[in-house]
Chain A
Amino acid sequence: MKIFILTLLVFSFGCSSQLSHTDSSRDIFDKIIHVQKVATKDELIKTFGQPLEIKPEDDISEEYAYKDFSTSVSKSSGKVLGTSMPYWVNFDAYNFLKKRFKNNKWIETEMPGTTSDIEEDKYKVELPELGITFEYDNQDPLRRPMWIFFN
């Protein structure tokens, strides 16, 4: 049994060491933030591949829809204008995001309630260095942003 556990540990250590030297160590947040910084359609496709669908959005932009997020791209210049990612996850999202971005400036502002028949305790979070914003409701046990915006 001990040998089996040791083997598992060696395997997982070996694998994680290998991953840390590859692109796979970057999570989806790193990748979206990178694309937003470069802000070109080419970089979006280079990083995430071809979108599942390209949909007309308005007069100036198109939506590049991926499995986990969507990006608005300028029709004329190919510039990336913004990204949104639904984040209705099954864990405490606030706790995760707070730890994930512990080294970044985190600005939290209380928001007025919008709904009269349900108790709300809403906050807006901004990470200005990374261009991330989202809202969460402290009344949601999992404190999830419905969408995270990057731009």
Chain B
Amino acid sequence: MAFIFLILFSSLAFAELCGPHEIYVREQWIESYTKTDSTNVRAHTRKAHCRELTRFNYYQDSTTQTFKKIKTNIKKWKPEEKKVVEEYLAKLPQWLKNYRLGEELRGDVGGNAHNPAAGIPLTRTLIVFDKFFEAPNKLAVLIHEVGHLTIMDLTNEEMAGFAKSSGWIIDRKKRIKIPPKTLIIPDSSESVSEDYANHIELYYSNPTLLKKLNPASYSFIGGIIKKREPK
């Protein structure tokens, strides 16, 4: 019996997330419509699926996307700016390089005046602000932004394990997450996701400091990275 169930439900049991070069498209309700050849299509549910990013690392001078929290003016790329971003994207560790970006946009200022770049997880978009070109740590900035995308692919155990190793406390009585007492970068207290991206950044830019600040999270994040680095 167990064997029959294994056959019947194996696709569910071993379902995997989309690859780093794909975008997850949610299940959606499609209203009835008529095709150009006059065929009537009934209203139906389109199942969730992974869609390959065929067009990636695509520099755009404008966008149809609207942003809720990030306030910036999108402007034209200069050829020399593209060259700088390309140069540093090429230096990303291989497992991060596998995360294809849907769009790369050029913004003036990103809310916080010191912000060098921002990410849009749903559309895999990178926005590069003016500050990026003055930043001495351009590679670290890009590692951080792409790092944000990689939290999406953690398993449940990895996500909970990372938060625990970093020192997040889950207060079940108050129903809140309490940030770690020792923060590796001050804005790590903003969210588990920010803390995770900071860990990925520091693991590459200053591993000695990360190990000193939090040996447990250094070891945990190292394990996550090793699993994903190409053999």
Contact = CB atoms under 8 A, between A and B. Distances in A.
Interface residues of B, number: 50
Given A12-B4, A87-B156, A88-B160, A119 B120 contact: yes
B67 A119 contact: yes
Contacts of A118: 118-121, 145, 148, 193-194, 197
Contacts of B1: 11, 15
Q: How large is the interface on A (under 10, 10 to 19, 20 to 34, 35 or more residues)?
A: 35 or more
B173 A119 contact: no
Interface in B152-190: 152, 154-156, 158-160, 163, 170, 172-173, 175, 177, 187, 190
Given A91-B15, A95-B27, A146-B163, A117 B170 contact: no
Tell me if B's interface is mostly helix, strand, loop or mixed. mixed
Contacts of B48: 91-92, 95
A117 B145 contact: yes
A91 B68 CA distance: 24
B159 A88 contact: yes
Interface of B: 1, 4-5, 8, 15-18, 23-24, 26-27, 48, 67-70, 110-112, 115, 117-122, 144-145, 148, 152, 154-156, 158-160, 163, 170, 172-173, 175, 177, 187, 190-194, 197
20 contacts: A61-B173, A95-B26, A113-B68, A114-B191, A115-B193, A117-B112, A117-B144, A118-B120, A118-B194, A119-B67, A119-B119, A121-B69, A138-B122, A141-B24, A142-B17, A146-B159, A146-B192, A147-B170, A147-B177, A151-B175
